[in-house]
Structure 1
Amino acid sequence: MPSSRPRVLTLAATALAALTLAAGCSTPAADSEVVTDEGQVFDLSAAQSERVRVDRVDDIAALVPQAVRDRGTLVVTGSGGTAPPLRFYADDDRTVIGSEVDLTYLVSDILGLTPDLRVADWSQNFVSVDSGESDLFVSNVTVTEERKDKYDFATYRLDNVSFETTEGSGWTVETRQDIAGKKIGVSSGTNQEQLLVEWNERNVADGLAPAEIAYYQNASDYYLALGSGRIDGYLGPNPSAVYHAATSGDTEVVGSVSGAGDALQGEIGVLTKKGNGLIEAVQRALEHAIEDGSYQRVLDRWGLGGEAVDVSEINPPGLPRKVP
């Protein structure tokens, strides 16, 4: 079923408005809350008393493979707690919370399962799914044609990526030419890296200087590099960039694009091992949540309402394959 959403998001201002966050200082409402200048409240507590919960839907739960139903748990892996508001540690420094966690609970509720949350490094999440140790990988995973060879996806959010830099830098990114000669941080193995590499190749072909790419795995590392001037900017998931800019007061988002660049609108999906029988149940659960409004409540709770999809699709067109 096709979606009516726009295919490409190109301007940072549009992304900011859509996410209802302002790049400015935040106000601490309580030890377990952060409130932005626009009034968005982020609950940082381990309790998460306002988490959106729903009832089991029997006909969708019946689609879950028998072995998983017998076990009674849905094992979901994801990256470590360094990327608010997507997936990060609560104020107790051990409980993982965020929009991706809430989505996991939502799908688990509908399927009548108890979520079993795991944390691993980015590459190890794929290994965990490959081995069957984890059922799903839910952690801002972009649908790509290459990944679809091994995995099935059920989409649940638009994939937009943003350039974040120190406030007042005077640098803006509206086209690929704007990165020429800059030093830009990125996480290795991500679609953001792929986008930078592709833009560099096209810029060099046009006679422009390539951007220097610096690799980081932890948010604390690239924000230290940004603050010390060792990099000009960082390219990462739009939700994390806007959240950090809104709550830190010393950085700003200077450009946002689809994770697929100017080719198509990238999408984020729940990832599972191809052919393990789970993807239809997960997609049906997401569709049910979209229809009953619980999905939108989850995204709004974390300031991500503007990245909602109209429908959840199984294995839609993804980012193109890397050219050898």
Structure 2
Amino acid sequence: MSLPRRALVAAAGALAAALVLAGCGSGSTGGTELAAAKGTTAPDGTAVNLSPNQNRVTTPKVDAIAALVPEEIRRKGTLTVVDSIGTTPPLDFYANDDRTIIGVEPDIASLVGNVLGLKVEFNPVSWENIFVGLDSGKYDVGLSNITVTEARKEKYDFATYRLDILGFEAKKGSGLKVTGPKDLAGRVVGVSTGTNQEKLLISWSEENVRNGLKPIDIKYHQSTEYYLALSSGRIEVFAGPNPSLAFHAVQTGETEVVGTYSGGGADVLGKIAATTKKDNGLVKALNGALDELIRNGTYGQVLKRWGLDNEAVKSSEINPQGLPKPKP
């Protein structure tokens, strides 16, 4: 589901400040680059292009890394990338033509394709169909804010490229501050099913019960359904990727991010990764390409452009420790 074009243009210019105020900023000025297209600029005079003509950062092919790509993919010359277009800016969303996919994830996917010498084909689907498509071999790789988890590692291989920062969004003026499980005890909290943040809420709720507190009343909302639930009071808080929630808070002016947390929980640093079917031979090429982007600086340019430079990793890891499985 795409956001209305006028809403995107109106909201984008203020996103950088919101990311900092919401706890997503790192003290850098990179976030001020996210501004609306067609003449609207950020305070430092920079702007982000929200049109279909993205003029993305590019980088040369690296033959030694391209040689790591499985022969079948090299032969077809195309890297089929699957992403969930239901997410909101600045992750992956539609440009102001309501058709072209743009955002930090497509930018990184395009750079990976550059290094590997492959044309990138984007395939927008619903969240659950990312994994269905990877399982069947229909798609080569998922780049859609996918967190490494121990359960997912049983079926998929991962090459990391961002830190996973979750946010908690509530009505402005609610007085809520979320720093840990006890802050949500007895609260009605919305989340999307099958996500990293769902697993975190379940573990928090169980911890609250063990500590003699009320469980979290978890409600499930897909895509942008939570907007209405939050505004109508059917949920008190929504848990999701912090960049998306911060953007939405700016867009509406009626909500705010009231806390952030590592997507991996208290003991594991959550990491976002390029995701491919286990043992299909592609992960080493993805890892090599991502390390090359980090080394040559194009990776940093992309994150800075979208206000996410505080989520940068120093190197790409293959199948690192992930979010633990829920306890039985």
Flag whether TM exceeds 0.5 (same fold): yes
Distance 1:33 1:136 in 2: 35
Matched, 1:15 2:24: yes
Matches within 5 A, 1:209-248: 209-219=214-224, 221-248=225-252
- Which residues of structure 1 form unaligned runs of 5+? 1-10
User: Does the 8 A contact of 1:21 with 1:243 survive in 2?
Assistant: no
Matched, 1:46 2:55: no
1:322 counterpart residue number: 326
| Deviation sequence 1:100-131 (CA, Å, 0-9, x none) | 00010010000000001001111111110111
Task: Read off the aligned partner of 1:145 and give its amino acid letter.
Answer: E
TM-score by length of 1: 0.89
Distance 1:19 1:246 in 2: 19
User: Does the 8 A contact of 1:12 with 1:255 survive in 2?
Assistant: no
Matches within 5 A, 1:1-324: 14-17=23-26, 29-30=36-37, 41-49=47-55, 51-219=56-224, 221-324=225-328
Distance 1:29 1:12 in 2: 19
Distance 2:35 2:299 in 1: 27
User: Does the 8 A contact of 1:154 with 1:315 survive in 2?
Assistant: yes
Task: Read off the aligned partner of 2:293 and give its amino acid letter.
Answer: A
Task: Read off the aligned partner of 1:109 and give its amino acid letter.
Answer: N
1:5 counterpart residue number: none
SS in 2 for 1:270: strand
Task: Read off the aligned partner of 2:280 and give its amino acid letter.
Answer: N
Task: Read off the aligned partner of 2:306 and give its amino acid letter.
Answer: W
SS in 1 for 2:61: coil
User: Does the 8 A contact of 1:160 with 1:256 survive in 2?
Assistant: yes
CA deviation after TM superposition for structure 1 residue 174, in Å: 1.2
Aligned residues: 309
User: Does the 8 A contact of 1:182 with 1:212 survive in 2?
Assistant: yes
Distance 1:81 1:244 in 2: 13
281-290 or 226-235, which deviates more: 226-235
| Deviation sequence 1:192-229 (CA, Å, 0-9, x none) | 0010011001101111111211111112x111111122
**Identity score, percent:** 51
Distance 1:47 1:236, change over 3 A: same
**Structural RMSD (CA):** 2.4
User: Does the 8 A contact of 2:134 with 2:140 survive in 1?
Assistant: yes
| Deviation sequence 1:211-263 (CA, Å, 0-9, x none) | 211111112x1111111222111100011112222344322111000012111
Task: Read off the aligned partner of 1:44 and give its amino acid letter.
Answer: L
SS in 2 for 1:239: helix
Task: Read off the aligned partner of 1:216 and give its amino acid letter.
Answer: H
User: Does the 8 A contact of 2:30 with 2:304 survive in 1?
Assistant: no
- Which residues of structure 2 form unaligned runs of 5+? 1-19
1:3 counterpart residue number: none
TM-score by length of 2: 0.88
Task: Read off the aligned partner of 1:212 and give its amino acid letter.
Answer: D
Higher percent of residues as strand? 1
CA deviation after TM superposition for structure 1 residue 90, in Å: 1.1
